[in-house]
Amino acid sequence: MHYAAAARDGGHYLKILGKAGADPMAVDNEGRTPDYYRRNAVIDLKMIKDRDEEYEGMSEELLDEGPMLESPGSVESGSEGSPVDSARINDDDDDVERNRFERMVLGRTDMPTSENGIYLARTVAPVLTKALAEVLLRRPADPIGFISDYLQKYHGELAHRSNGKLK
């Protein structure tokens, strides 16, 4: 019902769902009713489609470029670079990769539309977002290990809150 309310189709899907018995006062995970999405342009299907096409093009571009690894120079070949030169190359590569990643992430901030995307957004994304926020706050030496520990701790607390009964 919420998705139908956000779709700019003149209320067609909303009417169909209403006639089928959907609850117009249902509240989603964010505490919003379908009427909120009807009044506020939250989802623009054309924009989502355009961004999907952009993302696919960007992914193909990244795949076409292939790995950007260079073989390290050796003492035998006489091509060993100075530590400063190799650090500068690595910094440049990191900047390029970071910019590419940021463009991809910033361009993909729309709501998920597939069943799998919606499932992940409702169940996994909130917990992972909290874990990533903790990584940013604490800046651990091993961020992956930290996230793993955080998720295990969260899972343990979840079991404790539900008296050991997990679904």
Domain boundaries, the chain: 1-53, 112-163
- Cα 54 to Cα 70: distance, rounded to the nearest angstrom: 29
- Phi/psi at 65 (nearest 5 deg)? -70, -30
Fold classification of 1-53 (topology level):
1.25.40
Q: Which CATH number fits domain 112-163: 3.40.720, 1.20.890, 1.10.1220, 1.10.8?
A: 1.20.890
Higher pLDDT, 89 or 16: 16
- Cα 5 to Cα 33: distance, rounded to the nearest angstrom: 9
DSSP-derived letter for residue 110 is: S
- Phi/psi at 103 (nearest 5 deg)? -60, -40
47-56 pLDDT tens trace: 666 666 666 6
Is residue 70 predicted with pLDDT exceeding 50?
no
Cβ–Cβ under 8 Å, residues 25 and 33: yes
**How distant is the alpha carbon of residue 11 from its chain centre?**
29
127-153 pLDDT tens trace: 888 889 888 888 999 999 999 999 999
- Among 52, 43, 56, 50, residue whose Cα is nearest residue 111: 43
Structure-block tokens of residue 136: 């940013």
